[in-house]
Amino acid sequence: MPVPDTALADGVLAARTLPDRGALPLSVSGLRVVAGGRTILDVPSLEVAAGALVVLRGASGAGKSTALNVLSGNMAAQAGRVRWGATDIAALPPSGRRRFRRERLGLLFQDYRLFAELGALDNAALPAAWAPAPRRAGLRATARASLDRLGLADAARRPVAVMSGGERQRVAMARALSTGPAVILADEPTASLDRENADRLADDLALLAGAHTLVVVSHDPAMQARATRLLTLADGRIVDDSDA
């Protein structure tokens, strides 16, 4: 299945003036993150093609979360460059990284992080709360289209509190897609789901590759099986890098 919301998302994106459109390539060099006197991430060089589905794995404490935080600009690096397309987010001030996140990034979490008190559509269109006025309607339309495509057409008004884990993670996915992001970062997105729902989500994520660059931290073999590239971290270093 192609990604039917791309055209819509592109229309939405056209309202902004950004240098890059569509999926972005990632280029990391000389990246080093130190915490408490210990190097917790050390990536001398990493190139990821635009539209790739990268799955990141490794033991607990290997640096996966740190990697996601640095790639999303939630954490500053002590040294190195993290370039998404032409933008080196490691060189940006915190406000610039925030802006990059809200304009180019979609996020998925193991625990969904939805507002349980709100309906599916309000959750999926959450970024409309702070988006500029001209973009709000398009953003909500994109969110609704994503919910439709993810099989939640009738659930737009249902409170998230009464939904299953699988449904919630799909609402979260609609939220991640609502801004038409270039990059989607996910942290163990299938870990809280039963097998059936985990497989379905992995399929949905795999479909996003191409139009979006995905970096997914996951131990789920089903997720790893759908990766275009599999990176293994240990002690903050990439110890294995294999194309799937």
Candidates 122-130, 147-155, 205-213, 226-234 — which segment interacts with other proteins by CB under 8 A? 122-130
What residues does 119 pair with on adjacent strands?
159
**Residue 129: CB minimum distance to other proteins, A:** 5
Q: Rounded to the nearest 5 degrees, what angle is found at the Cα of 194, between the Cα atoms of 183 and 191?
A: 45
**Residue 238: CB minimum distance to other proteins, A:** 18
Q: Is 26 helix (H, G, I), strand (E, B) or coil?
A: strand
Of 28, 33, 53, 68, the one binding other proteins (CB under 8 A) is 68
DSSP state of 122: H
Which residues of the chain form beta strands (DSSP E)? 26-35, 38-48, 53-58, 79-84, 87-88, 105-108, 183-187, 213-217, 229-234, 237-243
- Choice between 99 and 219, CB closer to other proteins: 99
151: its two tokens: 């099989």
CB atoms within 10 A of CB 148: 15
Give dist(CA 75, CA 68) in Å, integer.
Answer: 9
- Choice between 49 and 137, CB closer to other proteins: 137
Of 27, 109, 207, 229, the one binding other proteins (CB under 8 A) is 109
Of 133, 162, 196, 242, the one binding other proteins (CB under 8 A) is 133
Of 6, 27, 29, 69, the one binding other proteins (CB under 8 A) is 69
**Residue 49: CB minimum distance to other proteins, A:** 23
**Residue 106: CB minimum distance to other proteins, A:** 9
- Choice between 38 and 196, CB closer to other proteins: 38
- Choice between 128 and 231, CB closer to other proteins: 128
Candidates 2-10, 54-62, 98-106, 146-154 — which segment interacts with other proteins by CB under 8 A? 98-106
Q: 152: number of CA atoms within 13 Å, CB side?
A: 30
Contact status: 94 vs other proteins (CB under 8 A)? yes
Q: Which of residues 181-220 bind other proteins (CB under 8 A)?
A: 185, 187, 217
CB 44 within 8 A of CB 86: no
If we measure between CA atoms, which residue out of 42, 105, 46, 109 comes closest to residue 77? 42
Q: Rounded to the nearest 5 degrees, what angle is found at the Cα of 84, between the Cα atoms of 81 and 86?
A: 85
CB 113 within 8 A of CB 123: no
Contact status: 239 vs other proteins (CB under 8 A)? no
**Residue 99: CB minimum distance to other proteins, A:** 7
The residues of the shown chain that bind other proteins, judged by CB under 8 A, are 64-65, 68-69, 72, 74-75, 94-95, 97-103, 105, 107, 109, 113, 115-118, 122, 126-130, 132-133, 136, 185, 187, 217
